[in-house]
Amino acid sequence: MADDKKKPAEGGSSLGWLMPPAHPGFFFLWLFGVFMFMFFIWYITGGVERSENAPVFVQSPVAPIITDTSAPPLKDWHNVAFSNFSLNVPPGWYVVNPTQPENLVYRGGVTNGVTTISFEYGLYIKPDIDERDNRYQITKELVGPTNAKLFLPKKFGTKTVMLFDRYPYKESLMIFGISLTPETQATALTIMRSVRFVN
């Protein structure tokens, strides 16, 4: 009889189809159906367009790594070799103030008699610059095969520093100039980016 038709149990839900079946034989069929349902929703809501327009990667807020900023060979520049690294300098530049290692740090520089680019080479080399200092623009660079970090001052009167931090495996190098004008800073950056290590 019509009155004998089974009725849903009181308190039952019409969304019971969302629950996975208890019988293991139907579980994978149910899982496939849920997957197809989600794919259908993704497709009709523009999923294809969103995936095509999505960026390939999420850009890190950390300073970008520049692919390669190695200084190209410049006419009339010459190479200056130290014990563990070398660099290129313009005509008229020469080595100044080389020192014997002191506290495991070797110091020296190159100059044209007016502008001096100094360096410190050793195991525990760090610039006296806080990376949160907003007076500097800090970027990571790849100089030849070596990673470096450039501390570029936003205003005249402070240090321009490039740090080749190779600790704890090898000695690090910090090369810097103080109160560089825009013209001398451009020369300094070219010198810094010509650095090559012996090992």
Does residue 117 lie within any of the structural domains?
yes
Quick: pLDDT tens for 88-108: 999 999 998 777 667 778 889
Quick: pLDDT tens for 2-34: 455 555 445 444 545 556 556 666 777 777 787
Neighbours of 187 (CB within 10 A): 18
Note the helical H segments in the chain.
24-44, 47-53, 182-192
Q: Are residues 25 and 81 in the same domain?
A: no
Quick: pLDDT tens for 165-184: 887 678 899 999 999 998 89
Q: Are residues 137 and 185 in the same domain?
A: yes
**Number of compact structural domains in the chain:** 2
In terms of phi and psi (left: phi > 0; alpha: psi -120 to 50; beta: otherwise), the region of 10 is beta
**In the predicted structure, residue 58 carries a pLDDT above the cut 50:** no
Does residue 7 lie within any of the structural domains?
no
- Rounded distance, CA 86 to CA 77, Å? 13
Q: Are residues 120 and 180 in the same domain?
A: yes
